[in-house]
Structure 1
């Protein structure tokens, strides 16, 4: 028999404020939000697991606790790093023994906008910035680069989890109004910052260059392009991929296109490489490698 969730709790006396220890415990448990992810209710099981310590302290009446646990198993899909924002609001409503239908509605309305905000804040901003700071260390062959990336990223996202839990719990339903009224502006600002960071990474790490030389004396085509605008080729590739995506290409198709163009370009000696390739006598091969099809001759190294 299905359990019918009551509209109101039996004990309507507001519960005492939750202590910091309980709030901090729920911050840690929120890290397991997606541990029981499924396509029926998405993050519902992980959500209940994370918020359960607070519900147990709020609802001393067993029937009320059962009702609260039942409606907190409703469908939920939000950003995993910002889920404590929703937890704080819901806990505030549970503490004041609001109607279960009201709590369910607020939970959905608070969880929805966090997807776009979280993606812009973390995947488009924090990840590129952190990667930009640590990539050089990793490229030098040091494992410290990978360790620093993981430490910086996880410390930042956990600090956000902790702050949002305490802040939203203190504000209660006012936090929902603040979120919905400023979500569009915040997402746009974070996205713009992320685009600037990604653009800086393209200019800094975009190493695609031409290997071609023509004429006698030899003219280096890449040198001519650098005279017009350094890193021009990575910029054109980025703009080209952007144009294809705007026309409806999927990211997978774009990746395959780059892969095919890269392989064909290297086979015909179009793109430069720095593979440190050497001939049989141990001399560095000009251009980094010997292409399959040699249709021009590189000048000998002096």
Structure 2
């Protein structure tokens, strides 16, 4: 038989404030929000698992606890790192024994905007900044680079998890108003910061160069491009991909295009940089390798005239 969720709880006496130990436990359980992810109710099972310690203390009436668990299994889809913001608001409403329909509506209203905010805050801002700071160390073979990346990223997300739980639990429904009134501005600001960071990463790590020599005087094409604007090739590639996406290309198609252009360009020696190849005696071979052409040496720069 289907269970009909009542509109009101039987015991309408407000419950006492939850202690810090319970709130902290719920924050840690929120890490399993997507452990039972499914395409019918998304994160609902993980949400109820994280909320259960608080609900059990708030609803001493078994029928009320049953009703609360039932409506907390409703469809939910929010950002996994910011979910404690929604948890604090819902806990405040549950504690004051608000109508079940009101709690369900507030939960959906608070959870919806967090997806865009969380993506802008974490994937477009925190991750590029953290990766930009630690990637050089990892590329040089230093394991501390990977350790620092994981440490900075996880410390940041757990600080935010705990801070949002206590803040939203104290504010209650006022937190929803603050979220919805500033969500657009916050998301735009975080996105702009992320774009600046990505631009810096392109300039720092964009290493695509033209390895072509023209004429008997061996004119270095890349040297001419650097004279116009350093890192011009990575910039043009980035702008070209952006234009294709604006025209309706999917990211997968863009990735395939980059792979094809890269493979064909290397085969003809257009993008080939220093091969790092060695001869039989272990000496580094200068220049690059073009499978469809031949080995070639990159000309040494001429010494300035005295």
TM-score range, shorter chain: over 0.9
Matched, 1:60 2:60: yes
Q: Which runs of 5+ in 1 are unaligned?
A: none
- Give a deviation string over 1:12-69, Cα, whole Å, max 9, x none: 0000011111111100000000000001100000000001100011001111001000
Q: Where does residue 293 of structure 2 map in the other structure?
A: 294
Query: What is the aligned partner in structure 1 of residue 254 from structure 2?
Result: 254
Q: CA deviation at 1:277?
A: 1.2
Query: Tell me, which stretches of 5 or more residues in structure 2 are unaligned?
Result: 302-306
Matches of 1:161 and 1:281 in 2, distance apart?
57
Q: Does 1:49 align with 2:54?
A: no
| 3-state SS, counterpart of residue 294 of structure 1 | coil
Q: Distance in 1 between matches of 2:10 and 2:170?
A: 25
- The answer for the alignment partner of 2:110 in structure 1 is 110
Deviation at 1:142, TM superposition (A): 1.4
| Residues matched between the structures, number | 301
Instruction: Work out whether residues 213 and 298 of structure 1, in 8 Å CA contact, stay in contact via their aligned partners in 2.
Output: no
Matches within 5 A, 1:194-273: 194-273=194-273
Are residue 168 (structure 1) and residue 168 (structure 2) matched? yes
CA distance in 2, matches of 1:143, 1:112: 38
Deviation per CA, 1:109-143: give whole Å up to 9, x if none: 00000000000000000000000010000000112
Question: Quick check: 19-28 or 215-224, which moved more?
Answer: 215-224
Q: CA RMSD in A?
A: 1.4
Tell me, yes or no, if the aligned pair for 1:33 and 1:46 is still in contact at 8 Å: yes
3-state DSSP of counterpart to 2:254:
helix
Contact 1:11 1:64 in 2 (8 A): yes
* Correspondences of 1:78-157 after superposition (within 5 Å): 78-157=78-157
Give the conservation status (yes or no) of the 8 Å contact 1:213–1:221. yes
> Partners of 1:44 and 1:98 in 2: how far apart?
20
In the other structure, the counterpart of 2:304 is none
